[in-house]
Amino acid sequence: MENNKKIIVINSLLVGSIFLNLFIFTSRMSFFPWFIEDAIGYLGVFLTAPMLIGIYFILRHYHKLQLITNINMVIPLFVAVTSLIIVFMPTIDLLNIVALVINVAMVCLTAIFLFNQKEKAL
């Protein structure tokens, strides 16, 4: 039961960091109140990417113990790598839409894994 609580906390951190990543990518869209005209907002990806990679290594440890699924383990690495690729490519609106779709899909998947953790009754 102790490991389930740790996994729930790690998945909660994962959802939070993906939400932060989502806000970073929506900062380039002019219809949001947190719009930043320059691409300086993308520098926040360099904060969230190491967090996501760290969460990946923690989840990889739990995957070796067979406590989480393979998909749950790969989500933070996928989001971090795609975010870094989108930041290093030339900025166009299509990339912002791709980042939004990826982040929203990963938040949904992580939330599914977060709420499907089975805690055993005492």
Summarised one tens digit per residue, pLDDT across range 17-26 is 888 888 887 7
- Tell whether 121 is covered by a domain: no
Indicate the number of domains in the chain: 1
Per-residue pLDDT tens digits for 25-66? 777 777 778 777 766 767 888 888 899 999 999 999 999 988
Between CA 119 and CA 76 the distance in angstroms is 23
Alpha helices, DSSP H only, in the chain? 2-26, 45-64, 70-88, 93-115
- Tell whether 122 is covered by a domain: no
Show the domain range for 37.
Answer: 2-115
Those residues whose C-beta lies under 8 Å from the C-beta of residue 80, and which sit 6 or more positions away, are: 48, 49, 50, 52, 53, 56
Between CA 100 and CA 103 the distance in angstroms is 5
